[in-house]
Structure 1
Amino acid sequence: MLRAGVLCPARRHLHPALPVPKRLLSTSGRVLVSVHQLGDKMPPLQTPAWHDWRMNVPSATPPDSRMLRNQGEDKLPRLPVPKLEDTLARLERSCEPLVQDSAQRKKLQSKLQAFGRPGGVGAKLQQLLERKRDEPGVRNWLARDWDEQAYMAYRDSVVVNVSYYFGFDRFPQAPAKTANPPAADPAFVAASIVKTALEFRRLVVKGLLEPELNNPRNPNDGEQCMESYKWMWNACRIPASPADYAIKTREDDPAAQYFVVAKRNRFYHVPFADANGEEYSVDAIRKAVQQVIEAAEGERDAAPPVGIMTGIHRDRWAEAHGHLVSSSPTNVATLRSIHHAAFLICLDEAEPQPWSGTRELEQWSKVLWTGGPEGGNRWWDKPLQWIVYRNGEVGCIGEHSCMDGTPTARLNDFLTKRILTGEPVSSSSASSAAPAIKPLPFELDSTSRQHVADAEKEFAAHIEPYDVHYTMYKRYGKEGIKKMKTSPDGWCQMLFQIAYYLTFGRPCATYEAAQTRRFQLGRTETVRILTPESLAFVRALVDPSSSVSTADKLALFRAAIAHHGKDMKLASSGSGIDRHLFGLKMLAATSSELTDAERKEVLEGDGLFADPVVKESGTWRMSTSQVYIRHAPVYGWGPVVEGGVGLPYMIHPHELQLSVSCQRGVPGADFIKNFERAADMLMDLHAEASREQAHV
């Protein structure tokens, strides 16, 4: 469904409650100044309280608008806490395919029974979690811990580990019906993106965007939480200690009506509206972007890549960021301009050739995903960055600490359809003269220059080990799968199980994201794809010595698909396994109401959370997520464990699109071949079953 939340808990560290910096408090402990409303002053270098930055986000969207009128505390329900016995039963079942022998099975069962016994530590943790759910003012019991632990307290680079990318079909390089259009005009492409993105932004700001439905086939099933759209524009992640946070400027703030362009590591402020608030035309914005290109290329050398520091370890970025702030008022002004900007346009020197062949498309995918040699021509902390290459190719980078993949997929689907179908953008009464660009310089002393140099080395070493592999499987897509009376998503998940088994000779814990946006502040839950049913089917299909009949193989497939559908519904309804376990584990690690002995009982030794099978069952060696953008043949993000594979996919009407991201040495190319083989095997199985049935 989406990328959100696929970062593996095994790569997280539980942090204690985060302190509120004293500079934001009065003597009574009340917040004096919002971190979002500091004007030209820098936000704090220490982490504010979660509620103060996350729940008080400025937004120009009217609360009674179409977009938000069915949202909020009195409209959407709170995220439930599943029953402990239900979660433990589902956990045991999900561990079954990974159990090695009867002794390991008995140990696991003993730990599950101990954790779930009445009056035990598990029951105590469950009561604490239910009490947390019911506290006044708590709209979602999971929200704070998930924001902090899955994203903001995570200290590794956001590049590879958090950010995701889309690459688009080639955009027009000139207005429709232009005589002798240029082969490439990145300034025009950038202007087209800006103008079309602003159309979508206007829908959000005015509250005209239709809320997404929990079930598009049944509107009566309700609308999804639209809270995350507040973080789409004029927002930025802030490096801080001990955890990051995010800030946001209201979209209608007169001081926020601009975007930032990065070119050759230099940053430029470009207004998109005049003094009367009227948006500039595409031609006017194109002229401004062209001025940026000429200004940056007029400099003798590229600037030091300050932006690359946003892509390194968060503690080192926080340290370098603190020095930038303290060493120069110019740096403060530039940083604040980047923070307030609606979004970034990054103009790169590279000229990818993605349409020359699969290998070239894979190379473009990695460059788009990581920035490659131009990783400093970014500000990786911004939620939205569109990349425009010198030859006019286009992609988008999303940072999803506060906003999951579905909103940005919806935005980019809107944008690409408008641009590629030639629909005219809205008219503008502003002057056609180019808006005035303004350089946003950094002043770097010797310490900052050393920080940048160190960051360049760290960044290069960080992205070097990764590769991307790709296929657009063309035998069939969604329409062909539906003819088999099967969920297209469930079908693809079984293909991944088959392909992994063919590639590695064993099963593995597999993540798929489900949305929980039917609840207040809902984000995601895990669907555990590896089940006894899926493994039984895969072995029957793949094992050459299998004597299982075609009809029985098909029956096993149907059982696996049915279980997948059931688990998806449970996850979407807030009754999944993993967020519940996460909440219990957080309380076990941090609650003052547990004794040290109780804490050790569940977290160490023979404790449930220390059990090797339980750990392995939540270690996502396959991490999968689907979005759909009609004109995005490139889509991806990184694996979430060492030696794992990331599997971003799209199900087109007549094709299946798959990227495999992995470290070098992991057989990603073999996985692609085995995915294609699996797709053939599964359709052939259905065809064979149909032939056999016809002869009965």
Structure 2
Amino acid sequence: MNASEELSSRTFGNEARLPRVPLPTLDATCERFLEWCGPLLTADERARTESALAAFARPDGPGRTLHAALERYDAAEGVHSWLDTFWPYRYLGRRDRIALNANFFFLFKESPEGQAERAAGLIAGALDYKLRLDEERVPPAVQRGRPQSMVQNRFLFSTTRIPGAEQDTVRAPYTDAWPGPSTARHILVFFRGNMIRMDVLGPDGRPHTLDELRAGLDAIMKAEAASEPSTGHLTTKARAEWAASREALLALGNGTALDDVETALFCVCLEDFTPADALDACDHLLHGDSGNRWFDKAVSFVVFGDGTAGINVEHCGLDGTTILSFVDAVLGASPAELSRRSGAASQGLPATAPIEFVLDDDLRKDIQDAAASFAAYAAATATTTVSLDDFGADEAKRLKTSPDAFVQMAYQLAHRRAKGLTGTTYESIATRQYRHGRTEAMRVVTPEVLRFVETIDDPAAGREARREAFRAAAEAHVRRAKECQAGQAPEQHLWELQLIQKRRGAELGVTGPLPLFDSPGWLTMRDDYLSTSSAPSVNIRYFGFGSTSEQCIGVAYVLLPDRFNAYLSTPRPVADAMHAFADRLREAVRELRELLA
């Protein structure tokens, strides 16, 4: 897009003019792949990987045929990006549970409001956003003068992931099945396992006032605990199993109840307890009581007994940057101001009605088993927080280094000291400057990172050598992040070629095994020891997600000008290593600050 072109102020007004995600050449991807996996391999593993890669990419090899098919797809009419098929497969194709494994959360900044008041304010803010979005009055995001894709905003309201036997689907507005914005007027409120439909927009589409919303929530919170087990527990099951349970619900005549849940604008989950501390709040935002959740809903606000609040997000259509903008809008002005701006009008107590599912003994047992299984799964996850209120992005800049490179180098040093090795590290890089752009998968470990962690702990290395090693690693990190932002990264490209063979191998004549995808390089590069992602906003205290493998530590961090907060998660059998990593991380930040000062 030319700088001279006038940017549209309409929410989706710049989409058609955004550049396409670049499709790298196969040769560039192969070269980059070797470069990326190389530092993690022994000489023998590298030789085996090179041999598998050469066979894949030879002139008459399977890689060429698959890449040519991808080029044709990218050029086809109606295709926004060569990743158009990849993203649904990546998220909707996963067959394990999404609760804790895929959904992510934000813990909001503190507020003096009580529970019903805080929840009413969040509802009012979300409704203001929805009504502005419907009229395309939410300003498009712009970064360094470049407009960002806003398409994901279409998945904020009335969007629900639907489990499938082979692959999930999504029920959402702005689709052929449901053209235009959501026409739903209700939200779904959970309290003590009760599911209540509450109309938050009147018949003419105007929001209820803050007082009315609060009164509606107060009335809901007078309810006794639900007598039947909550169907919400089923949303924690592995996807194909949940699909079978959903069929069983439909067979018993629960179509209307499911319809109410799936079309609701969003969820508000009211907890009847106060969290012990920020970590306790984070843990409940990540998994919580699954009877008080519907993990398939795109957006669920969670509000605790003392007004502490946050959000749980289903990831298939929404990335952190979109949710951050939404949360910043909801928390960036007073609820009274947002309610007034939305045109809220007094229209009496909001209509509420319980959503009741007809259950038989088989489904009751299914729900109870799902609840017990998920509670055990959550208990098998260890978490902790790291909070530094004397270090932030401003300090890193004063030390003349990229703030993100600084914390990523601190992670590498802490991991090496905690676990005795440098392991594969994933970092999510936003690519919303492209049409339908989402994220790119960056792999952090470079030859410079290996030299840095060795030099720092080498007793013979002087201060200058250690400082130079840090600078070289940080610069390599920034270079690679820029490559990812430019769409020049190998992993998703190769992965999509692998998926094309799975989907269309017979028709393309690529039916044999592809040794590249069993090679040490491919397997090692994707086996995370650290899975990292950042969410910078003054409106959130913590951001979090589950770990991605048996030895992985999930590192979700909020790096602000004046402070740094991270939420760590890992499987309980390796909890000691996570706690050691947290301790070493605090030390590493202090040590690197002294080194660079």
Q: Which residue of 2 aligns with 1:551?
A: 464
Distance 2:181 2:416 in 1: 54
Q: Specify which of 495, 506, 523 is matched with residue 582 of structure 1.
A: 495
Q: Which residue of 2 aligns with 1:49?
A: none
Q: Deviations over 1:585-604 (max 9, x none)?
A: 112333224546x632x2xx
Q: Which residue of 2 aligns with 1:195?
A: 124
Q: Note if contact 1:232-1:384 (Cα within 8 Å) is conserved in structure 2.
A: yes
Is 1:278 the equivalent of 2:201? Answer: no
Distance 1:627 1:119 in 2: 44
Instruction: Report the AA paired with residue 124 of structure 1.
Output: T
Q: Note if contact 1:412-1:629 (Cα within 8 Å) is conserved in structure 2.
A: no
Is 1:186 the equivalent of 2:115? Answer: yes
Distance 1:319 1:306 in 2: 13
Q: Note if contact 1:259-1:343 (Cα within 8 Å) is conserved in structure 2.
A: yes
Q: Deviations over 1:49-75 (max 9, x none)?
A: xxxxxxxxxxxxxx9861111113xx1
Post-superposition shift, 1:254? Answer: 8.3
Is 1:94 the equivalent of 2:4? Answer: no
Q: Deviations over 1:111-131 (max 9, x none)?
A: 333333323222222222222
Distance 1:429 1:386, change over 3 A: closer
Q: Which residue of 2 aligns with 1:426?
A: 340
Q: Deviations over 1:434-473 (max 9, x none)?
A: 1121111111122221221221222122212102111111
Distance 2:518 2:557 in 1: 33
Distance 2:111 2:346 in 1: 26
Q: Specify which of 106, 118, 141 is matched with residue 82 of structure 2.
A: 141
SS in 2 for 1:513: strand
Matches within 5 A, 1:229-244: 229-244=153-168
Q: Specify which of 93, 108, 128 is matched with residue 69 of structure 2.
A: 128
Distance 1:609 1:253 in 2: 41
Instruction: Report the AA paired with residue 232 of structure 2.
Output: G
SS in 1 for 2:566: strand
Q: Specify which of 267, 277, 282 is matched with residue 365 of structure 1.
A: 282
Q: Deviations over 1:61-96 (max 9, x none)?
A: xx9861111113xx1232222122221222112222
Distance 2:265 2:375 in 1: 28
Instruction: Report the AA paired with residue 476 of structure 2.
Output: H
Is 1:560 the equivalent of 2:500? Answer: no
Q: Which residue of 1 aligns with 2:269?
A: 346
Q: Which residue of 1 aligns with 2:96?
A: 156
Q: Note if contact 1:94-1:532 (Cα within 8 Å) is conserved in structure 2.
A: no
Instruction: Report the AA paired with residue 495 of structure 1.
Output: A
Identity %: 28
Q: Which residue of 2 aligns with 1:681?
A: 591
Distance 1:566 1:676 in 2: 26
Instruction: Report the AA paired with residue 442 of structure 1.
Output: F
Distance 1:592 1:80, change over 3 A: farther
Structure 2: where are the runs of 5+ without partners?
A: 1-6
Distance 1:285 1:363 in 2: 27
Post-superposition shift, 1:206? Answer: 1.6
Distance 1:369 1:254 in 2: 27
Q: Which residue of 1 aligns with 2:149?
A: 225
Q: Which residue of 1 aligns with 2:237?
A: 312
Instruction: Report the AA paired with residue 275 of structure 1.
Output: P
Distance 2:112 2:321 in 1: 25
Aligned residues: 583
Distance 2:105 2:153 in 1: 18
- 549-558 or 158-167, larger mean C-alpha shift: 549-558
Q: Note if contact 1:172-1:419 (Cα within 8 Å) is conserved in structure 2.
A: no
Distance 1:285 1:490 in 2: 45
Distance 1:79 1:651, change over 3 A: same
Instruction: Report the AA paired with residue 494 of structure 2.
Output: L
Post-superposition shift, 1:169? Answer: 2.8
Post-superposition shift, 1:190? Answer: 1.2
Post-superposition shift, 1:252? Answer: 7.6
Is 1:118 the equivalent of 2:56? Answer: no
Q: Which residue of 1 aligns with 2:582?
A: 672
Q: Which residue of 1 aligns with 2:555?
A: 647
SS in 2 for 1:158: coil
Is 1:67 the equivalent of 2:67? Answer: no
Q: Note if contact 2:267-2:301 (Cα within 8 Å) is conserved in structure 1.
A: yes
Q: Note if contact 2:155-2:173 (Cα within 8 Å) is conserved in structure 1.
A: no
Q: Which residue of 1 aligns with 2:4?
A: none
Q: TM-score normalised to the size of structure 2?
A: 0.93
SS in 1 for 2:241: helix
Distance 1:495 1:243, change over 3 A: same
Distance 1:253 1:91, change over 3 A: closer
Q: Specify which of 444, 451, 459 is matched with residue 529 of structure 1.
A: 444
Q: Deviations over 1:652-686 (max 9, x none)?
A: 11111111111113221111111111101111111
Q: Note if contact 2:134-2:181 (Cα within 8 Å) is conserved in structure 1.
A: no
Distance 1:347 1:201 in 2: 21
SS in 1 for 2:440: strand
Distance 2:133 2:478 in 1: 32
Distance 1:255 1:520, change over 3 A: closer
Distance 1:155 1:442, change over 3 A: same
Q: TM-score normalised to the size of structure 1?
A: 0.80
Q: Note if contact 1:588-1:599 (Cα within 8 Å) is conserved in structure 2.
A: no
SS in 1 for 2:215: helix
Post-superposition shift, 1:514? Answer: 1.1
Q: Which residue of 2 aligns with 1:332?
A: 255
Distance 1:326 1:234 in 2: 24
Q: Note if contact 2:159-2:171 (Cα within 8 Å) is conserved in structure 1.
A: yes
Post-superposition shift, 1:132? Answer: 2.0
Distance 2:519 2:582 in 1: 33
Instruction: Report the AA paired with residue 316 of structure 1.
Output: E
Q: Note if contact 2:48-2:520 (Cα within 8 Å) is conserved in structure 1.
A: no
Distance 1:131 1:595 in 2: 16
Distance 2:181 2:33 in 1: 49
Q: Note if contact 2:537-2:560 (Cα within 8 Å) is conserved in structure 1.
A: no
Q: Deviations over 1:640-661 (max 9, x none)?
A: 1112110000111111111111
Distance 1:393 1:574, change over 3 A: same
Q: Deviations over 1:611-639 (max 9, x none)?
A: 12321012122100001221322220011
Post-superposition shift, 1:563? Answer: 1.6
Distance 2:492 2:423 in 1: 20
Q: Deviations over 1:337-356 (max 9, x none)?
A: 111111111111222132xx
Q: Note if contact 1:171-1:419 (Cα within 8 Å) is conserved in structure 2.
A: no
Post-superposition shift, 1:365? Answer: 1.7
